[in-house]
């Protein structure tokens, strides 16, 4: 067992549910590289976001109360109900934080699109940087950082809509774009969508169960038409 295990022992569910801050997430991922016990815990909890998305606290309480008054069935377990409520409360807190920070959000697993100033970042070890190629005449550029993690691949995307002063026809709310991942079998999955406005950069944090080595390409498409605008190919 890793010497730091006790410190990170209860971070697994917060990591899977996306409740850690970016700094905490990177710190925990560094710990996962050397702690087999925590890696197993994350793998076991990987289905939790999908299950919790289907189960409301009210429904969980109703299920636990179904057997009330029937002697042949055990009484509801308070600790199970408390756990469900705890996870639901954590998700509500997470959503509240994102509501104030996020410009647009969509996707299958906990992801965000935020309009931010363009800045310089350091690429952590093990991260693959993908520069997108433009395949349509649009003033958009994008780069992505792909990080292998226990549950698949984390994708950090910066997408910039350049402004040349001729954006009068741009919708007030911006253009809607979507990010797709294509695996080596040719299966295409939508990961997220967001709105791009002239002169702004959208920073997107997304995730996919596809392992980094199995990703054939990333695509940015226009939501309205489905046309591909940019293509990124990992090495």
pLDDT digits (tens, 9 = 90+) for 112-146: 444 444 444 455 567 899 999 999 988 899 999 99
Confidence of residue 40 (pLDDT cuts 50, 70, 90): confident
**pTM for this model (two decimals):** 0.49
**Residue 156 dihedral angles phi and psi, to the nearest 5°:** -110, 115
Residue scoring higher pLDDT (210 or 164): 210
CA distance 93 to 181: 29
Q: What is the pLDDT of residue 213?
A: 92
Residue scoring higher pLDDT (19 or 141): 141
- Which of 55-69, 106-120, 137-151 bottoms out in mean pLDDT, i.e. has the lowest? 106-120
Listed residue (160, 212, 209) closest to 189, CA to CA: 209
Confidence of residue 45 (pLDDT cuts 50, 70, 90): confident
Fold of 5-54: Arc Repressor Mutant, subunit A (1.10.10)
Q: What is the pLDDT of residue 167?
A: 61
How far is residue 179 CA from its own chain's centroid? 12
Q: Which residues pair with 228 in a beta bridge?
A: 221
Confidence of residue 74 (pLDDT cuts 50, 70, 90): very low
pLDDT digits (tens, 9 = 90+) for 97-106: 444 444 333 3
Q: What is the pLDDT of residue 73?
A: 42
* H runs (alpha helix) in 66-151: 78-101
CATH number of this structure's domain 112-232: 2.60.40
Q: What is the pLDDT of residue 172?
A: 76
CA distance 121 to 73: 57
**Residue 48 dihedral angles phi and psi, to the nearest 5°:** -60, -45
Q: Hey, where are the domains in the chain?
A: 5-54, 57-101, 112-232
Angstrom CA distances, 42 to 36, 122, 222, stand at: 10, 26, 34
């Amino acid at each position: 067992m890793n010497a730091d295990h006790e410190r990170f022992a209860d971070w697994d569910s917060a990591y899977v549910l996306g409740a850690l801050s970016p700094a905490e997430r990177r710190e925990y991922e560094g710990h996962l590289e050397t702690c087999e016990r925590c890696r197993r815990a994350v793998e076991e909890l990987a289905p939790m976001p999908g299950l919790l998305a289907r189960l409301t606290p009210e429904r969980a309480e109703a299920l636990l109360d179904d057997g009330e008054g029937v002697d042949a069935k055990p009484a509801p377990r308070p600790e199970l109900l408390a756990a469900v409520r705890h996870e639901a409360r954590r998700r509500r807190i997470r959503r509240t934080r994102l509501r104030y920070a996020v410009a647009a959000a969509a996707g299958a697993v906990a992801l965000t699109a935020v309009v931010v100033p363009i800045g310089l970042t350091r690429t952590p070890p093990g991260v693959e940087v993908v520069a997108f190629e433009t395949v349509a005449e649009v003033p958009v550029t994008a780069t992505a950082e792909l990080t292998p993690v226990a549950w698949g691949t984390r994708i950090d995307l910066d997408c910039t809509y350049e402004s040349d002063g001729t954006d009068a026809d741009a919708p007030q709310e911006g253009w809607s774009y979507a990010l797709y991942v294509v695996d080596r079998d040719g299966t295409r999955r939508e990961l997220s969508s967001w709105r791009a406005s002239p002169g702004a950069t959208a920073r997107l944090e997304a995730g996919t169960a596809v392992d980094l080595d199995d990703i054939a390409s990333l695509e940015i498409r226009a939501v309205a038409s489905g046309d591909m605008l940019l293509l990124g190919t990992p090495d």
